[in-house]
Structure 1
Amino acid sequence: MPDVPTLAQVAAEAGVSPATASRVLTGSVRVSTSTRRQVHDAISRLGYVRHRAPRGGTGRRCDLTVAVVVCEPSQRLFTEPFYARMITTAEEVLTAHGIPLTVMTASSATSTIATPQLVAGGVDGILLIGARERHPLVVTLAASGIPVRSAGRLPDGVDMPYVDMDNHDGGRQAAEHLLLGGRRAIAAIAGPPGLPASRDRLDGFTRTLSLAGMPAVPVAYGDFTHSSGVHAAQWLLRRMPHLDAIFAASDVMAAAAVQTLRRAGRRVPDDVAVIGFDDAPIARRTSPTLTTVRQPVEEFAATATRLLLRSMASPDPVRDNPTLPTELVVRESA
């Protein structure tokens, strides 16, 4: 059996002292960004995993604590229904096991504040939501030895168990529906390119159109907010005045596109068909009601939470990474 890498070896590989490597793992703010990157690169190359001492107490489940960590600014937590649905379902699963839930946000800007509590033994398991590329917390948690389950596929190069939606197939379904409806001047409003779910939705959509002979699809990028959907739709209208369909990577951005099209004198769906993604409550309140790709949010959260609990109860890693199906829901907008 090969030797297990030590923290001292990580430090030597990174060209820093063991004390500096330790500060990186605990999220200390007294480490430069370049040094932090050197240590994380060394961790990845060596396959180092931090081993935590068991917490005191009886080991009963009432002594355990789970944290939901949302990799977004706190205002997003309170304005987007997706997060409320995820957290509510996770709490229901944990409550049935007598385990309390802590909710934290950790954007790239605030991760150094959240990291020390998470990796220093403050929690026994972490449900991670919205992990993106180059997020400093993600690599630290992957090497921490703490049971972690990501809700959503991880960025390339990060080894962490996850549960995912079939976002690629959701994009495919949206594209096929527009093609079957005779739409040919089609554009997309994508989510943040650093988020794997966003990339998968766009890739499934554009690949399907490309196979149908439409290789050049104009794409505007948003961040799932209403304002970004407005700006993206305005940009697409300037770029492609005669467009006849828009696929948006979230229902909030799709609703914003409908509003923008109406203000521009374009009728939905007569002039422009619009498809969203999520099947959030706003999809049924928008006029016309949104055709959208439904993702089973509650099942998603429950599955991720239960697999996290299995990891917390087992000395062996639980490496099952299920992908849940998505489904096109046809309403009035397309």
Structure 2
Amino acid sequence: MLKGVGSALSETEMQLLLIFAGSDRERQRLAQYLAAHRVDGVLLVSVHADDPLPDLLAQLEIPAVISGRRSAEETLPSVDSDNFGGGRVAVEHLIDQGRRNVVHLAGRLDVYGAQRRVDGYREALRDAGRPVDESLIVAGDFTEEGGRRAMTELLARCPALDAVFAGSDVMAAGARQVLREAGRRIPDDVALVGYDDSAIARHMDPPLTSVRQPIEEMGRAMIDLLLDEIADRRPAVSRGLERRQLVLPSELVRRASS
């Protein structure tokens, strides 16, 4: 994403300031920095549903664009990939491979994108005439350890599982470890699909089928939207928000894990 952002900014006179705000103290310092109006605009990445920062930016009338959305009712301009379509195509692929018991290692369910991937999982099963067993959806936290925990739980719940859709490549890596420790071969016994098409997917053994997000394109689109916001500082909700909620297509990259 930074590559796309940097490429788009290179065509302007603006500079990029990268700030990480993980702790409460870091967020407080960031709020003070923003309150001093030392920035022209803000790009928000990895924002959770209860994050107060977007509302603070709105109060300060600082132009902002979000990567992803906090909910279906997002009020700020946003750029996202098609998480629903990505989840659906991943599960459709597994069903097309003849897999009968498809489980889902979901990401953090306070993240709207993770919720939409779960929705895509459910929709693919319904379209195939399969029942949706909610016990076969276990939330992780987008970490390798979270993938291990969720996979261990799913193996206990459904020993006959033969396909896993993980909400991220990192969680898929954790799931792979658990499957191998349980003596399950990939893809012979269990097909495995991840999400993000990261370097992890390409270098995993076997290489991981994964859903690719157009990350670089998303970065460029975020800058384009933000520049529009800076040029017209009226609240986005007064300017036809429908056209400012961009959703870019995702695609399945097939490899040897499925």
State the TM-score, normalized to the length of structure 1. 0.71
Q: Distance in 1 between matches of 2:121 and 2:245?
A: 23
Matching residue's letter, 1:166: D
Following superposition, the deviation at residue 95 of structure 1 comes to 2.8
Q: How does 1:101-140 map to 2 (within 5 A)?
A: 101-107=16-22, 109=24, 110-140=26-56
CA contact (8 A) 1:154 1:160 kept: no
Cα deviation, 1:167-203, whole Å, max 9, x if unaligned, reads 0001110111111111111111111111100100111
Cα deviation, 1:2-61, whole Å, max 9, x if unaligned, reads xxxxxxxxxxxxxxxxxxxxxxxxxxxxxxxxxxxxxxxxxxxxxxxxxxxxxxxxxxxx
SS of 2:29's partner is helix
Q: How does 1:270-285 map to 2 (within 5 A)?
A: 270-285=188-203
Aligned counterpart in structure 2 of residue 208 of structure 1, from 124, 132, 156: 124
Structure showing greater radius of gyration is 1
CA contact (8 A) 2:63 2:233 kept: no
CA contact (8 A) 2:91 2:121 kept: yes
Does residue 162 (structure 1) correspond to residue 86 (structure 2)? The answer is no
SS of 1:220's partner is strand
Alignment-derived partner of residue 97 in structure 1: 12
Q: Distance in 2 between matches of 1:164 and 1:89?
A: 14
CA RMSD, 1 decimal: 1.6
Alignment-derived partner of residue 62 in structure 2: 146
Identity %: 41
Matching residue's letter, 1:142: A
Q: Distance in 2 between matches of 1:260 and 1:307?
A: 42
Does residue 322 (structure 1) correspond to residue 246 (structure 2)? The answer is yes
Following superposition, the deviation at residue 223 of structure 1 comes to 1.5
Alignment-derived partner of residue 311 in structure 1: 229
Q: Distance in 2 between matches of 1:135 and 1:315?
A: 23
Q: Distance in 2 between matches of 1:273 and 1:157?
A: 35
SS of 2:155's partner is helix
SS of 1:104's partner is coil
State the TM-score, normalized to the length of structure 2. 0.91
Cα deviation, 1:263-295, whole Å, max 9, x if unaligned, reads 110000000000001111111100111111111
Matching residue's letter, 2:122: T
What stretches of structure 2 of length at least 5 have no aligned partner?
Answer: none
Higher RCO (CA-CA < 8 Å; seq separation 6+): 2
Q: Distance in 1 between matches of 2:49 and 2:97?
A: 36
Q: Distance in 2 between matches of 1:203 and 1:150?
A: 21
Following superposition, the deviation at residue 210 of structure 1 comes to 2.9
Matching residue's letter, 1:230: R
Following superposition, the deviation at residue 315 of structure 1 comes to 4.2
What stretches of structure 1 of length at least 5 have no aligned partner?
Answer: 1-85
SS of 2:17's partner is strand
Matching residue's letter, 2:191: A
**Mean CA deviation greater in 154-163 or 274-283:** 154-163
Does residue 252 (structure 1) correspond to residue 170 (structure 2)? The answer is yes
Aligned residues: 249
